[in-house]
Amino acid sequence: MKNKKGNHIYLNFCLSVVTIYNMFSVLPNFFLGISSQFWNETNAVVVEKTLHEVTGRKKGLYSPRIDYQYTVDGDNYTNDVLSFAYFVFGKKWASDQIIGYEPGQEIKIYYNPSNPARSCIQPGTDKWTVAYTSLGVLILFFVIISIVRRGIKL
């Protein structure tokens, strides 16, 4: 019985660490995506569009980037945020995301009125970011409930 309890503690610990790490990498963009729906709109000019290969264990993952310039209250800004949704996919999908954005083209962007240097082209978030964040919260909830029910002291 003691071995089961030890396995349970180990499993809860591992699930908690992985979930917390993943959530902290997604949560800032999740909240920025939500708040960006209420940001001010302005015009910007596309400077460049590129695909950035994501380095790491997996090869063939790309993130679409669109560099754009805009002016707010007489101050000039440059940014490259397409969206706060988690954008790392295959080359074809990433390429499709930047179709229609050409250098010199005027586009609408959304900027944070409290910090105009923070902006994006597509406000909001996507269903996958919402699902991923919700799943993380749910896993943490069940881990905490499991710990409390078993009376395990942290």
pLDDT for position 1: 44
* Rounded distance between C-alpha atoms, residue 9 and residue 42, angstroms: 52
pLDDT for position 57: 65
Contact between 84 and 33 (Cβ < 8 Å): yes
pTM listed for this prediction: 0.71
Give the chain's residues under pLDDT 50: 1-2
Count of domains observed in the chain: 1
Range of the domain at 95: 2-150
- Tell me if residue 44 falls in helix, strand or coil: strand
